[in-house]
């Protein structure tokens, strides 16, 4: 897996080209693309969508995270990340999920084509339509570049390991299942105690009824 900075020129169908400096973090499997273009600049990080799709090695869904988290911070709110992408002079925030299976190389795409709902300004408003369409085309182009990389399988594997070993949806799910197993065992033990108590009370009542019947005879 190549973890050095690599400079590539990417064609954006329907628009022009952009230069991107891309690098893989071997610890997380996240691929950082720094975009250098006339109308688009900033950082988009591509992350296999394992936390939503579980660890499906063949998932075609990818998170396109806008901007960098600060060093030493695993999470930052969308609008507070460093190097947010700026498209048509509009700063963008968020992390839309795209479906790479919907990309046809060298064809222009819309947000709807990739399964993207809305794209937001960093200020919180929805971005203008021309901006949404341009940044979607850029995301699609770098997404196609990402999936075509000869290192893609190794990148996916690194991302899967990171998703499993961190406090992600998967790790939380496993912990929840363990807790559920403990809870079920405790409920079964309580049910056993309740049955034993019921049987004991039934015996006492039956014994009392037998004594009453004998007194009335």
Which DSSP category does 68 fall into?
Answer: B
Per-residue model confidence (pLDDT) at position 165: 75
Per-residue model confidence (pLDDT) at position 39: 95
pLDDT tens, position by position, 38-90: 999 999 999 998 765 555 667 889 999 999 875 544 556 777 888 999 999 99
pLDDT tens, position by position, 183-197: 888 888 888 887 777
Indicate the Cα dihedral angle 77, 52, 60, 129, nearest 10°: -40
Q: Whole-angstrom Cα distance, residue 209 to residue 217?
A: 12
């Amino acid at each position: 897996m190549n973890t050095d900075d690599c400079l590539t020129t990417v064609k954006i169908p329907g628009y022009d080209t952009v230069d991107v400096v891309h690098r893989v973090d071997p610890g997380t499997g996240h691929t950082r693309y720094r975009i250098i273009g006339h109308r688009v600049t900033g950082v988009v990080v591509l992350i296999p969508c394992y936390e939503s799709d579980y660890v499906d090695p063949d998932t075609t869904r990818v998170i396109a995270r806008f901007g960098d988290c600060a060093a030493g911070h695993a999470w930052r709110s969308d609008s507070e990340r460093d190097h947010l992408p700026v498209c048509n002079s509009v700063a963008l925030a968020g992390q839309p999920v795209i479906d790479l299976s919907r990309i046809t190389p060298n064809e222009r795409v819309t947000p709807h084509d990739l399964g993207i709902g809305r794209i937001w300004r960093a200020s919180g408003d929805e971005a203008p339509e021309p901006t949404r369409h341009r940044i979607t085309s850029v995301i699609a182009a770098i997404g196609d570049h990402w999936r075509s990389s000869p290192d893609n399988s190794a990148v996916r594997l690194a991302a899967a390991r990171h998703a499993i070993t961190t406090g992600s949806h998967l790790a939380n799910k496993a912990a929840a299942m363990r807790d559920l197993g403990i809870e079920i065992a405790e409920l079964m033990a309580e049910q056993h105690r309740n049955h034993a108590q019921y049987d004991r009370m039934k015996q006492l009542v039956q014994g009392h009824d037998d004594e009453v019947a004998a007194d009335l005879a």
